[in-house]
Structure 1
Amino acid sequence: MGGDAPAGGGRTPGAAQSRPVSGRGRSQARRAAPAYAALDLGTNNCRLLIAEPSYHEFRVVDAFSRIVRLGEGLGLGDRLAEGAIDRTVGALRVCKAKIEARNVVRSRLVATEACRHASNGAEFIERVRAEVGLEIEVVDRQTEATLAVMGCASLAHPKAGSVVIFDIGGGSTELAWLDGQTGGDEICASERIRAWDSLPTGVVTLAERYGSTRVTHGVFEDMVAEVGGRLLPFALKAGAAAATPNFHLLGTSGTVTTIGGIHLGLERYDRRRVDGMWMRGDDIETVTDKLIESSIQERASNPCIGRDRADLVLAGCAILEAIRRAFPAPYLRIADRGLREGILMSMMLEDKVWVRRRRI
């Protein structure tokens, strides 16, 4: 697990508790605390996080995640499919019910690459507004990258001269080069971004183009080569990052958390063990090779992958491998946090909730 890696620095809002906390046994006053809601509607997942401010952190009180594959088919076309829309609307109804059940004072609900790319993305957003009653904002790539950085930057090592943070999504991959000491200073993390990029390639779109049932080493290398070509402009801007002291990669996505869970041999995925863990490059290669050699049935039976993601995990591994080749680093730190946490932080910072609490 790279146990001799430098200890990570700093706490971030939500880092201590990012699992739903039951309201049973709590006082009415405790349950009535004002809450914030953040929704990340991606190409593959619909994910909701509801949290209450808690001193210099936030406390998660409810969460929801469902694989909806909203962007299914976008690797080969430009329209959201009706089946994908219906699945997503169903998941959003669950999110709406959770938001209404909590004392949510402010929410931000964002959609990313699938809705940016699809020719009927605006129609879908309007349908959600009319049928579900949720106002969803389609954010641009820079906003998505910035929020993802805010959500996980506190895991960057405080002595790192530079860090490359990446978020491998279903339809796009965001990258940012952070300069200077970022650990523990998540509030100013967005101001430390020296360069950023968003690749129009994610696990869903890549898997649809190259196939996903049987991925040979040759097919895997073809995927890596495609992503590497798309990475080149960012690598030219941020190439100096890898030469700085204590440089490392920091990844947030289902791909990296899956690799971490497999490396640990978890019988059931455990966020507490994966979030913040360090991995060496050769350990990442071992897991990747194991996945390439496995059948899709074997991948589906792995508790850290599951049936819904068995056909996507190797596309994610290819994107990760391209990033590792562009930015050689002895260590990768894994974050099971990102866009939703960044959204929550940005709202709470704007509302100055922690400043007010410190004055009490």
Structure 2
Amino acid sequence: MTRVAAIDCGTNTIKLLIGSHTAEGLDVRVRESRMVRLGQGVDATGRLSEEALVRAFAAIDAYAELITEEGVEQIRFCATSATRDASNAADFRAGVLARLGVEPEVLSGDEEAAVAFAGAMSNVGDEVARPILVVDIGGGSTEVVLGDDTGVLAARSMDIGSVRLHERHIRHDPATREEVEAVVRDIDDQLDACGVDLAAAATVVGIAGTMTTVGAGVLDLAAYDPAAVDLSVHPVDDVHTYVDRLVAMTVSERLALGYMHPGRADVIDAGALIASRVLRRTSVGTMLISEADILEGIAWSLRP
């Protein structure tokens, strides 16, 4: 069995999956996530900051050690929103190549959406109604992908994410009503133009850190528990209620939540608002949360 490493580098996190393809599916041995805020300030400056590069390279150094220890034979490193937008992305690519021996692939928005959809579908059973809308809220971008077992029917990657929107609009803690309204207008403008028929979805699947954190919050977990969050189903009204409560909290109040990652607490207000605004355009009564995401999609792309 060929052992593979899938790395997803986004605006806020760098995630690693190490596993092997078997007759039964993907055997995951390692799954890690580090919050490095690579895209800090990119929306305003158009550049990756030196401090952000230092944080990212430290995480990649740690991943390189794990990859060596696990005897990985193939690596695919996918970089998404922050490195699409940065004028000095070549510095980042050179640093990754020096550390891992592979150059990162900077995915287009459409490629990112397709890989995220594949990862989510690998975790969804046949009993889930189709078509499925996969919603992947990142730090710099959000992907909405409508599809079924034949593949992607429609997809859009939008330049709205938790870090990008928080940095663009929010200056107070907690956000003022005017700031929340500005975030919502930005989201709604993007959704108006996205071209994906969100109302056509029979099922909505939320993936990645913002959505899994929202799922943990609706469940009111004392601590983050992937097993409890994965494939959990949440009434849409409960999601809206939780998002309103989360947005009204201060950062220190969010940090006191046992399931909240400290690297997400300051920006999740904007990310949660994206989740709520997307759901308001669907006709579903519940949302499914999947721990499987773009990492599984990247790993599946390396199968023999």
Report if the CA contact (8 A) 1:89-1:132 is conserved. Answer: no
Counterpart code for 2:117:
V
Where does 1:220-231 land on structure 2 (aligned, <5 Å)?
Answer: 220-231=180-191
1:294 aligned to which of 233, 243, 249: 249
Where does 1:200-211 land on structure 2 (aligned, <5 Å)?
Answer: 200-211=159-170
Are positions 1:215 and 2:175 aligned together? yes
| 2:45 equivalent in structure 1 | 77
Where does 1:76-95 land on structure 2 (aligned, <5 Å)?
Answer: 76-95=44-63
1:164 aligned to which of 133, 143, 151: 133
- Partners of 1:240 and 1:127 in 2: how far apart? 43
| 2:72 equivalent in structure 1 | 104
- Partners of 1:108 and 1:134 in 2: how far apart? 8
SS class of match (2:224)? coil
Report if the CA contact (8 A) 1:169-1:202 is conserved. Answer: yes
- Partners of 1:159 and 1:265 in 2: how far apart? 25
TM-superposed deviation, 1:229: 0.8
- Partners of 2:163 and 2:179 in 1: how far apart? 16
| 2:234 equivalent in structure 1 | 279
- Partners of 2:76 and 2:120 in 1: how far apart? 18
- Partners of 1:39 and 1:279 in 2: how far apart? 29
TM-score after normalising by structure 1: 0.79
Question: Can you list the C-alpha shifts for 1:270-304, whole angstroms capped at 9, x where unaligned?
Answer: 00010101111111022112212322101011122
| 1:4 equivalent in structure 2 | none
SS class of match (1:304)? coil
Identity, in percent, stands at 33
- Partners of 2:95 and 2:246 in 1: how far apart? 39
| 2:285 equivalent in structure 1 | 330
- Partners of 1:157 and 1:163 in 2: how far apart? 11
Where does 1:173-322 land on structure 2 (aligned, <5 Å)?
Answer: 173-179=142-148, 182=149, 191-211=150-170, 213-234=173-194, 236-239=195-198, 241-242=200-201, 247-322=202-277
Report if the CA contact (8 A) 1:39-1:109 is conserved. Answer: yes
Number of residue equivalences: 302
Where does 1:124-139 land on structure 2 (aligned, <5 Å)?
Answer: 124-130=92-98, 133-139=101-107
Report if the CA contact (8 A) 2:174-2:248 is conserved. Answer: no
TM-superposed deviation, 1:156: 6.3
Q: Which moved more, 1:66-75 or 1:158-167?
A: 158-167
Q: Which moved more, 1:36-45 or 1:280-289?
A: 280-289
Counterpart code for 1:311:
D
- Partners of 1:36 and 1:89 in 2: how far apart? 20
SS class of match (1:76)? helix
- Partners of 1:250 and 1:217 in 2: how far apart? 29
Q: 1:320 to 1:116 in 2, by over 3 A?
A: same
Q: Which moved more, 1:211-220 or 1:121-130?
A: 211-220
Counterpart code for 1:175:
V
| 1:57 equivalent in structure 2 | 25
SS class of match (1:79)? coil
TM-score after normalising by structure 2: 0.93
TM-superposed deviation, 1:43: 0.6
Q: In angstroms, what is the RMSD of aligned CA positions?
A: 1.8
Q: 1:161 to 1:63 in 2, by over 3 A?
A: closer
| 2:299 equivalent in structure 1 | 344
- Partners of 1:211 and 1:293 in 2: how far apart? 12
1:144 aligned to which of 109, 112, 134: 112
Counterpart code for 1:232:
D
Structure 2, unmatched stretches of 5+, are none
Q: 1:118 to 1:143 in 2, by over 3 A?
A: same
Larger radius of gyration: 1
| 1:24 equivalent in structure 2 | none
